[in-house]
Amino acid sequence: DDADATTVNSRISFQVPEDGIYTWVVNSYEAGVGSYELRVDAAAPDYSRFSAGPSDPEGKYALVVGINDYPGSGSDLTGPTQDADLVAQALIESYGFDPQNVILLKDGEATRPNIANGIVSHLGKAGPDGVAVFFYSGHGTRVGENIGYLDTEADGQDDGLYVYGYGQGSSVLLDEELGYLLSQLRGQTFVAVDACFSGTISRAAGAQAK
């Protein structure tokens, strides 16, 4: 794409389709000649759907997470997104949840920030007489050391949810982090985690655990 008509400079604008790791390969007409400028503009994440709608002290709210398609191809699963759909359907049809109060996060939407904001902003709408449900189906993981500060695991290894992300910093939600987030909720809280290493996944925030 010609930047202007008076030079041979080019401009390429590309909007990345999703968060991730991208490699830019830059060449010139003659090898080793010329310069280029790379500019990245980041849009602020939109968490508005988690706070949309009214807060009902007696309401029922659910955050349902399922991940089949992880980045790359080596960690994919078959089943979790179907599990998430079935759980959401059951909550609505059998347990009287308002459809607008059941938020589904599947595959690329099931990131650390989205899950954390979904718990705090969406499940946080449930008042003392309300109900908050968190369901997760996907990979669990053991990180090999104690890296959190809220608890010390007896076996010396933190467990966590292996969510959608790139690298440990963005793809692991530690058990104690999840326990702390859930401990901030006021309503009756039900947690179901279908993942490896999930035995203490919501109980690792010490006295603050739900």
DSSP 30-90: STT----------PPP--HHHH-S---TT-EEEEEEE-S--SSSSS--SSHHHHHHHHHHH
Q: What is the pTM of this model?
A: 0.78
pLDDT, residue 26, reads 76
Q: What would you measure as the largest C-alpha separation in the chain, in angstroms? A: 70
pLDDT, residue 207, reads 46
* Digit-coded pLDDT (tens) for 95-151: 999 999 999 999 999 999 999 999 999 999 999 999 999 999 999 988 766 666 555
Mean pLDDT of 62-79: 93
pLDDT, residue 208, reads 44
* Digit-coded pLDDT (tens) for 11-58: 888 887 776 778 888 777 777 677 788 888 887 888 999 999 889 989
Helix H or strand E encompassing 170? helix 168-171
pLDDT, residue 51, reads 92
Q: With H, G, I as helix, E, B as strand and everything else as coil, classify residue 193.
A: strand
Residue whose token pair is 């058990």: 175
Give me the chain's average pLDDT, please.
85
**Percent of the chain residues topping a pLDDT of 90:** 49
Residue 203's pLDDT band (cuts 50, 70, 90): low
- Tokens encoding 158: 């933190």
**Percent of the chain residues topping a pLDDT of 70:** 84
Of 63, 53, 50, which Cα lies nearest the Cα of 104?
A: 63
Top-ranked range on mean pLDDT: pick from 50-59, 91-100, 163-172:
91-100
pLDDT, residue 46, reads 86
pLDDT, residue 10, reads 79
